[in-house]
Structure 1
Amino acid sequence: MSEEFDYVIVGAGAAGCVLANRLTADGVATVCLLEAGPPDRNPFIHLPAGFIKTLFDPTCTWQFKTDPTERTGGRPIATTQGRTLGGGSSINGMVYNRGQPADFDGWAQRGNRGWAWDDVLPYFRRSVRRLDIEKGPEQGEAIPVSRMDWLHPVSEAFIRGCINVGIPQNPDYNNGHQAGVGYFQRTIDRGWRVSSARAFLKPALSRSNLELRTNVRASEIVLDQRRAVAVRYLRRRGATPNEVRARREVILATGTVNTARLLQVSGIGPAPPLASLGVPLRHELNGVGANFRDHYAVRIVMKARPDVVTLNELSRGLRLGGQIARWAVGLPNILATSPSQVHVFWKSFEGLDAPDLQCVFTPGSYKQGAVYVLDDYPGVSAGAWPHRPQSTGYVHARSTDVFEDPVVQPNYLSDPQDRRATIGGLRLIRRLLSTPELAQYLQNETLPGPDVTTDDELLDYSYRNGTTCYHLIGTARMGPATDPDAVVDNELRVHGLDRLRIVDASIMPTMPSANTYATTLMIAEKAADMIRGRQPPNNQAG
């Protein structure tokens, strides 16, 4: 059977929820929104501390893993992505981070007209309300962005130590001036996570011109010559496909991995991999699946003195009960905080013009080789990663079966610039953890340990212990038609095809100096205006 709507949006993640809201706001255009995952009813989605539970839950996540390499110590690395309403915004660390103006000016300089900082800033502002941070032009809609309210004494000491070694305090890194130290801004309001689904999709679901279908997996983009006309989807493996047709456009918002895979199994992409899959080549685009990037973080762990109470102790027993009671009455507590507490945006080496590192500090420590499993003793962690990784990899479908995970290969630390920045980041973190301000709280380094000192030793430690930041971008990068590896133009239309647009993190040509959620919201807001033929909003100073 085939049904018809004006727009078919594939993916109800961070971008898809924005699009569904904006495109149905006139009450006229009809939209069918397809989501591979279930509704966001899991209570751990909405409780900020619940991200530890959802990260390992295959019912609401894509449990992708990278292929192992020498530079990951022969380890596959879990690159989990959201698979529920809200996508990544329902399972992420809730950090709101726009990045540096130069990131987006660089996009424009690559030939992407309309994507410079001054062009995109109004779209960043449109989707958020920055609570108690800044008034005036920052008061947009939908996503509340709040200051950290649970402040730990060790975090306060860490910030003081950073200031005393020459890193300026910066309480608002989203104002266009990123360098400095301070607390992260979070997408948390009154003790609850506010996902893209809660902020954008839920208000739109009452509209008669929006239809949402969950637990359906897109299996093919249907082309009529050079025009996208429909999407086929499956309710389960081996089922007969259903088809939904688009009068105006098919819009992919399925995320960096799934967008590349869906294009490839539909015959859109580079010829050799498609031939190996046995997929007829319908439209050759060499860049589909290429330019894949991610942030690769390495952390240092220190054991705290026995009388110091960190997250490790607060997350257990009677202390946890006390935190639950504080959450219930609206007092600051660990259940309503983001996993990364303090930010440091700084330089891996002296002489750089702008920060090339993001560092995070948490008054808690995790076991070696484990993801968010707290140590049995009090401790703290600090991690760092290169802002703008130069290492690139690829995403390739393994087969035409969309229930089989694709090859996910980011080639972490393959570029020497990333290796140098990682070493510089570890040395910076060690310096920041050894300040006099922290001496009363901390006693010794447990990871990698004081015997790991040379560049080669630090690099080997990074290979064996680094991990993803879940910031996957680039597999359908934006660029002009003269760029042989560009997949979409500056209006996010797929080169050489009509009525097919991509609106998610896969279109980012380079990595922003940031977590990717804020940029994905901005991309969706800007795309919605372009699809509706609306003029961009005037920028406002400040």
Structure 2
Amino acid sequence: MEVDYAVVGAGSSGCVIANRLSARPGTTVALLEAGGRDTNPWIHIPVGYFKTMHNPSVDWCYRTEPDPGLNGRSIDWPRGKVLGGSSSLNGLLYVRGQKQDYDRWRQMGNEGWGWDDVLPLFKRCEDQERGEDEFHGVGGPLSVSNMRIQRPICDAWVAAAQAAGYPFNPDYNGAKQEGVGYFQLTTRNGRRCSTAVAYLKPIRDRQNLNIITNALVTRVMLEGKKATGLVYRDRSGTEQTLKVRREIILSGGAINSPQILMLSGIGDPDHLKENGIEPLHARPGVGKGLQDHLQARLVFKCNEPTLNDEVRSLFNQARIALKYALFRAGPMTMAASLATGFMKTRPDVETPDIQFHVQPWSADSPGEGVHPFSAFTMSVCQLRPESRGELRLNGPEPSKHVKIIPNYLSTETDCRTIVDGVNIARGIAKQNPLRSKISEEFRPSADLSCDDYEGTLDWARSNSTSIYHPTGTCAMGSSAGSVVDARLKVHGIDNLRVADCSIMPEIVSGNTNAPAIMIGEKASDLLLADS
């Protein structure tokens, strides 16, 4: 088969690009996805991430290497392996980040990536339930809606945070991010709006678009310094070749895109040789610069029922399912969190440097079931970590997972910020009306003093987990350590681009799904302009 464009990865960015490119008549597009179609019904139910995360039929089920910053622990890194990618598995939270994030990208030499450049792209993709204004759009493919569920414990948290001095903010995606309030979601009428639903489903019958699932791309074909095609394994494991006349776009995400580049001979020559791969193009930055948001999850036992109690009995589960089936309402419409807050840990910080995710339930992790007692969770993460890790190949076999070395909590600022975030969370818990609802500090226990810096840091190292926002492994820029330029072209290789969260030169201050979709929109504009 031969096409004009090949997009590798049908995730948050790839579905957008496939849609926009195939809208041009006469342009042939192939979209290759290593996973299958999004037929699992739990994908489309908002709370379904409890069933899809850690499910190998739709999740890559990555795990990190043991990390010194986590006291030697290895932790889960779920990533979507299905149409829609991680937008089919994630917590549905729509967060753009701060305008300063994108202005910093621009100041780093990436022309066209400042806030004024990307805001129109955010608005273009959006169909905002609240309506159109200076910061939001309507009529776009991606439905963004308000919460369809409220719980008293989350309302109490928002009130307690205000009592602690943090302002209420009805729209953290608006004029400013700072403050507390409620999440906006990528849902439509009580169902998940993944990029497969938003961007692929309406156009899947286009004759010039070929969606190939269960296609594991093993390498990019190079003729000298020009990308000419792809090699992939089909459902049966047979190798197939796809020739590409114009451009190849890697949108496999922060793990798969750099892995494909390295398997293709593009990366650090010494590392490639160590893994039995012939170096064809030296680009030492491939796989480097890895950043992620680390979350400390504080759990508080309650003296009143929470969602833990609502879902514990089979009768209640049946009642919840019936309410969802009849009205698309109730707990099954719930995202990963209800309430949120963007705050500063110190007065000298220009913009918020921590984010809260507040959940009316508690569990060791999504997919493992809730705790057998009444409780809620206050998760706090550092928005702009300094720590950077890397990905390393685990041999030349494409089906083997790469080694993920996140290097969490490896700088003084990161350590101080997570300790400050934990202490802020515990301070909010002491404010009414939340204080009266808490019966016990469960994680960490009340025995750990807020004045014990080393003890709190050690607790964070032993209990924190990823919030699933890997970025930066094919960083955009002009330095020797960058991988792509401001037009997302791989330095030194013709007809090859990367478009996903791996291109972020710095992680954004918030959840990464909305920026990934924006990156897909931006890449589409660049590709169409250059064609």
Match of 2:324 among 318, 324, 327: 327
- What does residue 281 of structure 2 align with? 283
2:369 and 2:426 map into 1 onto residues whose CA distance is 22
Q: Per-residue deviation at 1:70? A: 2.3
1:295 equivalent in alignment to 2:312? no
Equivalent runs, 1:114-513 vs 2, <5 Å: 114-132=112-130, 134-135=132-133, 138-235=137-234, 239-305=237-303, 308-317=304-313, 318-330=315-327, 332-367=329-364, 373-453=369-449, 454-480=452-478, 483-513=479-509
1:347 and 1:322 map into 2 onto residues whose CA distance is 41
Q: Per-residue deviation at 1:38? A: 0.5
Can you list the C-alpha shifts for 1:397-416, whole angstroms capped at 9, x where unaligned? 11111111111111111122
Query: Residue 234 and residue 131 in structure 1: after superposition, are their counterparts in 2 closer, same or farther (change >3 A)?
Result: same
Q: Secondary structure at the match of 2:433?
A: helix
For residue 517 of structure 2, what is the amino acid of its counterpart? L
Number of equivalenced pairs: 527
Q: Per-residue deviation at 1:331? A: 5.8
- What does residue 538 of structure 1 align with? none
Contiguous gaps of at least 5 residues in structure 2: none
Query: Residue 133 and residue 365 in structure 1: after superposition, are their counterparts in 2 closer, same or farther (change >3 A)?
Result: farther
Q: Per-residue deviation at 1:326? A: 2.0
2:121 and 2:268 map into 1 onto residues whose CA distance is 33
Q: Per-residue deviation at 1:285? A: 0.4
Q: Secondary structure at the match of 2:470?
A: coil
Q: Secondary structure at the match of 2:397?
A: coil
1:515 equivalent in alignment to 2:514? no
For residue 12 of structure 1, what is the amino acid of its counterpart? A
Q: Per-residue deviation at 1:372? A: 5.1
Can you list the C-alpha shifts for 1:337-390, whole angstroms capped at 9, x where unaligned? 1021110100122332210001111111224x7865311110011011110111
- Partners of 1:131 and 1:145 within 8 A in 2: yes
- Partners of 1:32 and 1:212 within 8 A in 2: yes
TM-score in terms of structure 2 length: 0.97
1:75 and 1:426 map into 2 onto residues whose CA distance is 20
Match of 2:3 among 2, 5, 14: 5
1:176 and 1:225 map into 2 onto residues whose CA distance is 48
For residue 262 of structure 1, what is the amino acid of its counterpart? I
- Partners of 2:5 and 2:245 within 8 A in 1: yes
Q: Per-residue deviation at 1:78? A: 0.8
- Partners of 1:100 and 1:176 within 8 A in 2: no
- Partners of 2:156 and 2:434 within 8 A in 1: yes
CA RMSD, 1 decimal: 1.5
TM-score in terms of structure 1 length: 0.95
For residue 443 of structure 2, what is the amino acid of its counterpart? L
1:245 and 1:217 map into 2 onto residues whose CA distance is 16
For residue 357 of structure 2, what is the amino acid of its counterpart? V
- Partners of 1:133 and 1:146 within 8 A in 2: no
Contiguous gaps of at least 5 residues in structure 1: 536-542
Can you list the C-alpha shifts for 1:200-230, whole angstroms capped at 9, x where unaligned? 0111211000001110100010001110000
1:416 and 1:276 map into 2 onto residues whose CA distance is 33
Query: Residue 18 and residue 286 in structure 1: after superposition, are their counterparts in 2 closer, same or farther (change >3 A)?
Result: same
1:45 equivalent in alignment to 2:49? no
For residue 39 of structure 1, what is the amino acid of its counterpart? R
The more displaced of 162-171 and 486-495 is 162-171
1:509 and 1:353 map into 2 onto residues whose CA distance is 20
- Partners of 1:125 and 1:140 within 8 A in 2: no
For residue 321 of structure 2, what is the amino acid of its counterpart? I
- Partners of 1:63 and 1:79 within 8 A in 2: yes
